[in-house]
């Protein structure tokens, strides 16, 4: 499958990730057909995407007149097979359960043409695991987006050992064409690339928080105003060059033995989970949220993301 043969996209699973992925493809000019097993998710798809598009328009990323044009490119199918039937590229963003994904991949393969690319947005399962029931795993690949997917630029494209070079290249090209920062991960390993780095960082952050080394507000402010600020503009390897690789090597040698290295979830975090304080979803986590303030913090976060995306990446 070559890039110019891709005309129709299908998105299976229209939750937090799937609805934004559908939006991104529609904004990139592709007709999209979506399916979700939940009636609510299907019924609310256009309204949720309209809300996102209005945020884009408020931030001058999209012309208001384009909102309906983008929405018109998105259709909701009544069945999974109907969504996939004429698609050249199918991406799933259903629940993160391996058997669900494995069964879905086998069913999708029966519903599409031999050429159709089938992608998984799994955060943890490799394509070798998800495609185990497929007849032709050569056309399967991971495309790992980041929440909120319609705003965060990067998408990790992770082929398995069976994925053909053509499928990987076309998948990278497709995501670049719709304005995403598609990066290729050459070897499938647990956590791919970004989540490994993210977990390495959060282990140390959680440790500092548990030990009371600084307040939760000061930890967040310190990282946002230093590493976060720099990383938005300059990758970590490039930052090493600016700082001096020799200096980094010396600091690494002195500091690495001081850092947390075990694999236990820190008690302060486990206690929150045990108390049902799981974050914005449950109304409390490391911070407390009421309904009004949750809307405010989410809007403020998305406004800031959109400003950054516009500043650094132009569109999405």
Ligand X SMILES: NC(=O)c1ccc[n+]([C@@H]2O[C@H](COP(=O)([O-])OP(=O)(O)OC[C@H]3O[C@@H](n4cnc5c(N)ncnc54)[C@H](O)[C@@H]3O)[C@@H](O)[C@H]2O)c1
* Residue 104 interacts with ligand X (CB under 6 A): yes or no: yes
Q: Give the tokens for residue 49.
A: 């995407």
Under 8 Å between Cβ of 48 and 23: no
Q: By CB under 6 A, name the one of 49, 94, 151, 158 that touches ligand X.
A: 94
Q: Is 14 one of the binding residues for ligand X (CB under 6 A)? A: yes
Number of residues lying near ligand X (CB under 6 A) = 23
Note whether 36 binds ligand X by CB under 6 A.
Answer: yes
Closer residue to ligand X in complex, CB, 104/172: 104
Nearer to ligand X, 51 or 244 (CB): 51
Q: Of the two residues 48 and 230, which places its CB atom closer to ligand X in the complex? A: 48
Binding test (CB under 6 A) with ligand X, winner from 6, 9, 10, 17 = 17
Q: Where are the alpha helices (DSSP H) in 114-266?
A: 127-130, 165-177, 194-210, 216-223, 229-231, 236-243, 245-255
Residue 116 pairs in a beta bridge with none
Q: State the minimum distance, in angstroms, from the CB of residue 294 to ligand X.
A: 16
Which class for 264: exposed (0-12), middle (13-18), buried (19 or more C-beta within 10 A)?
exposed
Ranges within 138-177 binding ligand X (CB under 6 A)? 145-147
Please identify which residue in 9, 10, 11, 12 interacts with ligand X, judged by CB under 6 A. 12
Q: Which of 41, 70, 91, 140 binds ligand X (CB under 6 A)?
A: 41
Q: Parallel, antiparallel, or unpaired: how do β-strands 154-159 and 140-145 relate? A: antiparallel
| Residue choice 6, 53, 83, 93 for contact with ligand X (CB under 6 A) | 93
Residue 110 CB coordination number (10 Å): 10
Q: Tell me which stretch binds ligand X (CB under 6 A): 81-89, 118-126, 291-299, 304-312.
A: 118-126
191 binds ligand X (CB under 6 A): no
Residue 229 CA to residue 113 CA, distance in Å, equals 45
Distances (CA, A) of 1 to 17, 37, 127, 134, 258: 25, 28, 18, 18, 50
Q: Site residues (CB under 6 A) for ligand X?
A: 12-18, 36-38, 41, 93-96, 100, 104, 121-123, 145-147
């Amino acid at each position: 499958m070559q890039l110019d043969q891709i005309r129709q996209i299908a998105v299976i699973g229209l939750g937090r990730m799937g609805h934004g992925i559908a939006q991104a493809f529609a904004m990139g000019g592709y007709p999209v057909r979506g399916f979700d097993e939940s009636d609510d998710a299907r019924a609310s798809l256009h309204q949720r995407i309209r809300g996102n598009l209005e945020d884009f328009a408020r931030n001058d990323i999209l012309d208001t007149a384009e909102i309906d044009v983008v929405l018109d490119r998105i259709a909701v199918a009544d069945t999974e097979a109907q969504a996939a039937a004429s698609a050249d590229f199918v991406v799933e963003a259903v629940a993160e359960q391996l058997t669900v994904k494995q069964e879905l991949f086998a069913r999708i393969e029966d519903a599409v043409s031999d050429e159709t690319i089938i992608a998984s947005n799994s955060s943890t399962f490799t394509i070798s695991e998800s495609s185990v029931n497929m007849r032709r795993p050569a056309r399967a690949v991971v495309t790992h987006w980041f929440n909120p997917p319609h705003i965060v630029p990067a998408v990790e494209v992770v082929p398995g050992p069976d994925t053909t070079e053509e499928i990987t290249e076309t998948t990278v090209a497709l995501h670049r064409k719709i304005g995403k920062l598609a990066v290729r991960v050459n070897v499938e390993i647990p956590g791919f690339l970004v989540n490994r780095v993210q977990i390495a960082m959060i282990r140390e952050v959680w440790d500092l928080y548990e030990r009371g080394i600084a307040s939760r507000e000061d930890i967040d402010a310190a990282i946002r105003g230093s590493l976060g600020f720099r990383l938005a503009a300059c990758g970590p390897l490039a930052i090493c060059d600016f700082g001096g690789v020799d200096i980094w090597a010396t600091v690494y040698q002195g500091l690495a033995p001081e850092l947390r290295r075990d694999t236990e979830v820190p008690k302060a975090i486990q206690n929150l989970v045990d108390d049902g304080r799981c974050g914005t979803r449950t109304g409390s986590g490391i911070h407390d949220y009421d309904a009004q303030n949750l809307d405010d913090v989410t809007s403020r976060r998305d406004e800031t993301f959109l400003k950054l995306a516009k500043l650094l990446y132009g569109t999405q």
